[in-house]
């Protein structure tokens, strides 16, 4: 039995959850509204301030979907109440980040600047303090979208293993390799 799928999601006061036709769950809160389509085999029930999920059989597929959709709806509830935030830092000499609205201008050591447009559902902020690395902050209610955009920004210049230069999440540890001198 899926341990995650069995747990009920408690609904905070300011949140309303409705299950529409075609098994589409709509979550509305103070920060916005999100929708998630659910597989037709998984049943969703909203009662007594909680959301319950059920599955028809103990097939591996049903067990996997049971836990998956419970986790996705829990992420939606957290998103519309608290929201999500990701911070990326640029490590390297001359690396810069600036934004105008939702357009991010990155200087990552290439011959040209990279202009990256952030989806309108997210807010982006950049800060550069003297003596510290530039930091890009992404905020929004959709955890999946924030993770996808952060991964795309990181892929523009992944941290390399020798000096650790590149775009990385704040707090991410990059294992460094020894250089040529280690062979002697």
Is 151 within the bounds of a domain? yes
Task: Give the global pTM.
Answer: 0.88
pLDDT confidence of 156, banded at 50, 70, 90? very high
- The answer for 95, left when phi > 0, alpha when psi is -120 to 50, beta otherwise, is beta
Domain CATH for 67: 3.90.930.12
For the cut 90, the answer to whether the pLDDT of residue 65 exceeds it is: yes
Residue 135: which domain range?
84-169
Same domain for 60 and 15? yes
Question: Which string of b and e fits 73-110 if b means at least 16 CB within 10 Å?
Answer: bbbbbbbbbebbebebbbbbeebebebeeeebebbbee
- Residues 128-150 have pLDDT tens digits of 999 899 999 999 999 999 999 99
Share of the chain above pLDDT 90, in %: 85
Same domain for 58 and 32? yes
Same domain for 90 and 59? no
Mean of the per-residue pLDDT values of the chain: 92
Same domain for 91 and 54? no
State mean pLDDT over 100-107: 94
State the pLDDT at residue 2: 59
Is 49 within the bounds of a domain? yes
State the pLDDT at residue 181: 77
For the cut 80, the answer to whether the pLDDT of residue 16 exceeds it is: yes
State the pLDDT at residue 144: 95
Same domain for 73 and 16? yes
State mean pLDDT over 47-59: 92
- The number of distinct structural domains making up the chain is 2
CB 161 within 8 A of CB 177: yes
State the pLDDT at residue 1: 46
Q: Which residue has the tokens 């992420």?
A: 75
pLDDT confidence of 183, banded at 50, 70, 90? low
């Amino acid at each position: 039995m899926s341990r995650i799928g069995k747990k009920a999601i408690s609904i905070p006061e300011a949140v309303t959850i409705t299950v529409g036709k075609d098994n589409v769950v709509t979550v509305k809160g103070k920060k916005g509204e999100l929708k998630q389509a659910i597989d037709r085999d998984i049943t969703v029930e909203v009662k007594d301030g909680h959301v319950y999920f059920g599955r028809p059989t103990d097939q591996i597929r049903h067990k996997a979907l049971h836990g998956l959709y419970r986790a996705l709806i829990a992420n939606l509830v957290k998103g519309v109440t608290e929201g999500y935030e990701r911070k990326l830092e640029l490590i390297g000499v001359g690396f810069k980040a600036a934004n105008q609205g939702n357009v991010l201008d990155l200087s990552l050591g290439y011959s040209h600047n990279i202009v990256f447009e952030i989806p309108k559902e997210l807010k982006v902020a950049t800060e550069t303090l003297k003596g510290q690395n530039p930091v890009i902050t992404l905020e929004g209610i959709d955890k999946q979208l924030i993770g996808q955009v952060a991964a795309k920004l990181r892929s523009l210049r992944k941290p390399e293993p020798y000096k650790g230069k590149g775009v990385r999440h704040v707090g991410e540890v990059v294992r460094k390799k020894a250089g040529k001198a280690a062979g002697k």
